[in-house]
């Protein structure tokens, strides 16, 4: 098993960060890692996501939503090819620190036969993709609030 983790503090309310996270149609405008995503963020639903890790190969997959708790957590499980070969459980967690400040956390646990083959790429390219997405989400969330003031 392989785990990745990245977090960032964002000066915005949890509700606002959740709205940006689940506004899949806007991903091509701001998200450097998940370039497109479609479907409904609701438990049991299937999404279609295209990931483009920096320095890595783009891939499209169809994860199943496990949790979609507004303003708190979006979690899905995806598979490469068939279950058990290369599975990734990805979560986005929004932790309220103050009324207008949150900690945004991305985690993914990878399991399956091919995980050792992809370990180096996960540690570099995919990890960097998480971090770039976090910074882009922070910039978008904080800029939108500045524009409202």
Question: Exposed/middle/buried for 47, CB within 10 Å: 0-12, 13-18, 19+?
Answer: buried
- Asked whether residue 6 carries a pLDDT value surpassing 80, the answer given is yes
* Contact of 126 with 2, CB cutoff 8 Å: no
Q: Give whole-number Cα distances, 40 to 24, 26, 63, 92, 131, in Å.
A: 9, 14, 11, 15, 24
* Contact of 8 with 103, CB cutoff 8 Å: yes
- Residue 149's pLDDT band (cuts 50, 70, 90): low
Q: What's the pLDDT tens digit per position in 51-104?
A: 999 988 898 999 999 999 999 999 999 998 778 888 999 999 999 999 999 999
pLDDT at residue 25, as a whole number: 97
Q: Which domains does the chain have, with CATH numbers?
A: 2-148 (3.30.530.20)
Query: For 15-33, what is the mean pLDDT?
Result: 97
Q: 0.85 exceeded by the pTM?
A: yes
């Amino acid at each position: 098993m392989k785990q990745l983790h990245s977090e960032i503090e964002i000066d915005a309310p949890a509700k606002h960060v959740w709205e940006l996270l689940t506004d899949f149609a806007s991903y091509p405008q701001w998200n450097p890692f998940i370039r497109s995503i479609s479907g409904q963020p609701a438990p049991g639903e299937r999404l279609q996501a295209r990931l483009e890790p920096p320095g890595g190969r783009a891939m499209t997959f169809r994860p199943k939503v496990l949790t979609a708790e507004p303003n708190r957590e979006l979690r899905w499980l995806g598979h490469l090819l068939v279950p058990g070969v290369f599975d990734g459980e990805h979560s986005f967690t929004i932790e309220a620190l103050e009324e207008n400040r949150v900690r945004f956390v991305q985690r993914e646990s990878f399991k399956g036969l091919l995980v050792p083959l992809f370990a180096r790429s996960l540690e570099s390219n995919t990890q960097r993709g998480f971090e770039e997405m976090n910074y882009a989400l922070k910039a978008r969330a904080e800029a939108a609030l500045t524009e409202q003031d």
